[in-house]
Each structure stands twice: as structure tokens, then as C-alpha cells.
């Protein structure tokens, strides 16, 4: 009799979990349908969807970059400033220093890797809180951007091969979208099937327990920040190929959408845990929502308002999903212990030989 309520709750529990896991995907579809009905002549067009994929590629890059330290429960607030400096350098090294574009791209990626490594060392070796360390690093990068440009735009002739990094469209698909998909697949494989992903998640869940099990916590946290810096630098390369000018005031506006994507993504696919496909889905929600709102003729302030509101919602939902995940794990553990324990209603076992006297 005691099992009946449990059986009656199973379908509801499964439905609730399915909605939680795939709710963001459903929201993406609903937004597409909603704006397609409101804007039938402009929204559901191949031109619009190509524009969405191309314009929000940098947001997807920095969201994936922010996701890696977040897996270890650390924050990288320097990604917006790093993106801005990277796009300035990749253009300046070609225009002002005369470097060939492949060397300029390689140099910028190495600088991004170095910046990320420094962030990791500040957090782990110097034991500075990740908020403070990366905010300070970001301010330094912002100062370097101004010093390098002198507050002016960097303009010059760029090789067509470099510009094609952004403008190419194999099979009609914007090249930046292809880069994002390839990066997402690589990160998904690393997080789901390689030890590095399990280690990062373990560090984020319980750093002390991870160390006790033999995981070198400091090494992997530094590695997480280094990966974040490298991805951010490549995003700056793509942005430089798109803008074709270097501006010191570009980059900061990507910080907020990056964390919206990463945190909102933790409420889908893998509840309570940052994950690749949840992040990509969250970026699509942002891109579709902003595109539709802009086509409806909204004012310029709508995009930051939308991003800020979504960030607050994302933080709240991420916290709720994490708490729910912990509660579910505790309930499952208690249920397993209850099933393993002998029932009090069963009569005690009697040894037939206990009553035999010699």
C-alpha cells in the first residue's frame, strides 16, 4: 500500500523534470513562432536567421568562455575587456606593426592564453577572490587598450583572407556560426567524456573533496581560466575581422550577455550545472528575443534592459535548479537506504538450529 503514492507521483515527476531539462529549448521554439506570427515578412526569413547566427557568434564565444571557470565555481569578469583588447591588437599588429595576418592571429591567441593563465594564478596561487582578481585584470586590459589606441580608431587596409574569417559563408552558413558549433562540440566532448570535464565539475561541487580524491585543484582551475582567455581572444579575432577597425570602447558590452548565456544555460539540459548545449540554447534565446524586439521598433535601451532582466532571472533560476538538484540527490539517497533496510513489519528470521539442544 505504501508504494501506491510513489507510483502516482512518477508521471508528474517525470513531466516536471522534462520541462525543466528542455524548457529552454521549448522557449526558443515558442519565441520563433511568436515573432514569426507578429513579423511574417521580416522575421521568418533566411536573411534574418543568418544575421542572428552571425551577429551573436561573439556572444556565444564569450558565454562558452565564461562557462569554463563557472564549472569550478569561479567567475571571469575580464572576458569583455579581453575581447576588446584582442580585436584591437589583431588589427593593430597588422596595420601598425605590419605583421602578416596569421602571425597577428597567433600572437593575439597567445596573449589571451597568457592573460587567462595570469587570472588563474591570481585566483589559486595568490588566493585572490575570482571577482576581485578578474575585475582588476579587466581594468588593466582596458587601460592597455586605451594606451595602445591613444583613444583613437585603428583603421587600415586588411588582407581579404583575414576579413574572410568573418565574412565566409560555406553552404550559406556564416563562418562564425560554424566556429561556435565546432567549439561547442569540442567542449561538450571534453566535459562529458574526458577526465578534465569531470575534474572541473568536481572542483566546482566540492573543492576540498576533489583535492582529497587526488584531483590537482590548482592546476585545473588555472587551466579553466587559461581556456577562457584563449576562447575570448579568438572571439576578438572574429570581431576584428567583422568590424575591420580597432576601437577601445568595444568589448565591455559583451560581459553581461556572456554571463546571461552561461548562467541561464545551467537551467537547461543539465539542471543546476553549467553545460555547453544549455549555454548555446540560452544564447539563442537571447539572440531571437533581441532580434524580434528590435524589429518591432523598440528603443536602443531595450537590449541592455533585456540582458539585465534576463541575468537576474537566470541567477535566480540557476540557484533554484542547483538547490533542486541537491534535494533530488538527497531524496534518492534516502530512498535507496530505505529500500536496502529490512522492513520492520517482517518477522525476525529464526535459525532452525537455535532450538536444538545437545
Summarised one tens digit per residue, pLDDT across range 25-83 is: 888 888 899 889 988 998 989 888 888 888 889 999 999 999 999 999 999 999 999 99
CATH code for the domain in which residue 133 is found: 1.10.3470
Report yes or no on 356 lying in a domain: no
Report yes or no on 8 lying in a domain: no
The DSSP secondary-structure symbol of 268 reads S
* Residue 169 bridge partners (DSSP): none
Long-range CB pairs of 121-129 (<8 Å, 24+ gap) are 121/222, 123/74, 123/221, 123/222, 123/225, 124/217, 124/218, 124/221, 124/222, 125/218
Q: What is the pLDDT of residue 7?
A: 47
> How many residues appear in the chain?
358
For the chain, how many structural domains are there in total?
Answer: 1
HSE, CB side, 13 Å, CA atoms: give it for residue 128.
16
The DSSP secondary-structure symbol of 271 reads T
Q: What is the pLDDT of residue 11?
A: 53
Full domain range(s) for residue 166 = 23-339
Assess whether pLDDT exceeds 70 at residue 321.
no
C-alpha cell at 354: 537455535
Instruction: List the one residue out of 270, 261, 317, 269 whose CA is nearest residue 289.
Output: 261
Q: What is the pLDDT of residue 262?
A: 92
Helices and strands (DSSP H and E) totals, the chain:
14, 0
Contacting residues for 177 by C-beta, under 8 A, at least 6 apart: 53, 54, 57
Start-to-end C-alpha separation, the chain? 45
Assess whether pLDDT exceeds 60 at residue 198.
yes
Q: What is the pLDDT of residue 10?
A: 47
Report yes or no on 288 lying in a domain: yes
Report yes or no on 9 lying in a domain: no
Assess whether pLDDT exceeds 80 at residue 236.
yes
pLDDT tens digit sequence for 68-100: 999 999 999 999 999 999 999 999 999 999 999
How much is the average pLDDT of 134-157? 94
Contacting residues for 11 by C-beta, under 8 A, at least 6 apart: none
For residue 72, the SS3 value is coil
Report yes or no on 349 lying in a domain: no
Contacting residues for 242 by C-beta, under 8 A, at least 6 apart: 166, 176
Lowest mean pLDDT across 6-20, 161-175, 222-236, 281-295? 6-20
DSSP for 92-124 reads HHHHTS---HHHHHHHHHHHHHHHHHHHHHHHH
Q: What is the pLDDT of residue 6?
A: 46
Percent of the chain with pLDDT over 70: 82
Q: Check if the beta carbon of residue 269 is closer than 8 Å to that of residue 281.
A: yes
Report yes or no on 51 lying in a domain: yes
Residue found under cell 588589427: 91
Band the pLDDT of 268: cuts 50, 70, 90. confident
CA distance linking residue 36 with residue 161, whole number of Å: 36
Rounded to 5°, the CA angle 63-68-71 comes to 115
Q: What is the pLDDT of residue 342?
A: 59
Q: What is the pLDDT of residue 52?
A: 87
Report yes or no on 352 lying in a domain: no
- Which of the given ranges, 49-53, 117-121, 286-290, has the highest pLDDT on average? 117-121
How much is the average pLDDT of 232-251? 94
Torsion of CA 155, 159, 162, 163, to 10 degrees: 70
Percent of the chain with pLDDT over 90: 57
How much is the average pLDDT of 208-236? 95
45, 124, 208, 234 from 169: Cα distances, Å? 17, 41, 47, 18
Q: What is the pLDDT of residue 341?
A: 64
Per the prediction, the chain carries an average pLDDT of: 86
How much is the average pLDDT of 272-300? 86
Instruction: List the one residue out of 138, 135, 162, 155 whose CA is nearest residue 88.
Output: 155
Report yes or no on 348 lying in a domain: no
Amino acid at each position: 500500500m505504501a508504494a501506491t503514492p510513489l507510483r502516482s507521483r512518477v508521471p508528474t515527476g517525470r513531466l516536471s523534470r522534462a520541462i525543466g531539462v528542455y524548457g529552454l529549448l521549448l522557449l526558443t521554439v515558442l519565441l520563433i513562432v511568436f515573432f514569426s506570427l507578429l513579423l511574417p515578412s521580416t522575421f521568418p526569413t533566411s536573411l534574418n536567421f543568418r544575421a542572428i547566427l552571425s551577429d551573436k557568434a561573439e556572444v556565444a564565444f564569450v558565454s562558452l568562455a565564461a562557462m569554463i571557470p563557472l564549472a569550478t565555481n569561479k567567475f571571469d569578469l575580464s572576458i569583455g575587456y579581453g575581447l576588446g583588447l584582442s580585436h584591437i591588437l589583431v588589427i593593430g599588429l597588422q596595420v601598425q606593426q605590419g605583421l602578416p595576418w596569421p602571425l597577428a592571429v597567433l600572437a593575439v591567441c597567445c596573449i589571451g592564453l597568457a592573460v587567462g593563465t595570469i587570472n588563474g594564478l591570481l585566483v589559486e596561487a595568490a588566493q585572490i577572490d575570482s571577482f576581485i582578481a578578474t575585475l582588476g585584470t579587466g581594468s588593466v586590459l582596458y587601460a592597455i587598450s586605451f594606451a595602445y589606441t591613444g583613444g583613437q580608431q585603428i583603421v587600415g587596409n586588411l588582407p581579404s583572407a583575414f576579413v574572410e574569417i568573418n565574412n565566409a559563408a560555406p553552404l550559406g552558413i556564416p563562418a562564425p556560426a560554424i566556429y561556435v558549433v565546432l567549439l561547442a562540440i569540442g567542449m561538450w566532448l571534453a566535459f562529458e567524456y574526458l577526465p578534465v570535464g569531470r575534474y572541473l565539475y568536481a572542483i566546482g561541487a566540492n573543492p576540498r573533496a576533489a583535492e582529497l580524491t587526488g584531483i590537482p585543484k590548482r592546476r585545473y582551475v588555472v587551466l579553466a581560466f587559461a581556456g577562457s582567455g584563449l576562447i575570448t581572444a579568438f572571439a576578438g579575432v572574429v570581431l576584428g575581422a567583422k568590424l575591420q577597425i580597432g576601437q577601445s570602447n568595444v568589448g565591455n558590452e559583451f560581459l553581461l550577455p556572456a554571463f546571461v548565456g552561461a548562467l541561464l544555460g545551467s537551467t537547461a539540459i543539465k539542471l543546476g550545472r553549467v553545460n555547453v548545449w544549455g549555454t548555446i540554447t540560452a544564447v539563442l534565446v537571447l539572440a531571437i528575443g533581441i532580434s524580434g524586439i528590435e524589429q518591432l521598433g523598440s528603443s536602443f535601451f531595450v537590449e541592455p534592459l533585456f540582458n539585465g532582466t534576463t541575468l537576474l532571472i537566470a541567477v535566480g533560476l540557476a540557484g533554484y535548479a542547483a538547490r533542486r538538484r541537491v534535494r533530488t540527490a538527497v531524496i534518492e539517497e534516502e530512498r535507496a537506504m530505505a529500500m536496502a533496510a529490512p522492513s520492520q513489519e517482517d518477522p525476525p528470521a529464526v535459525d532452525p538450529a537455535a532450538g536444538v539442544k545437545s
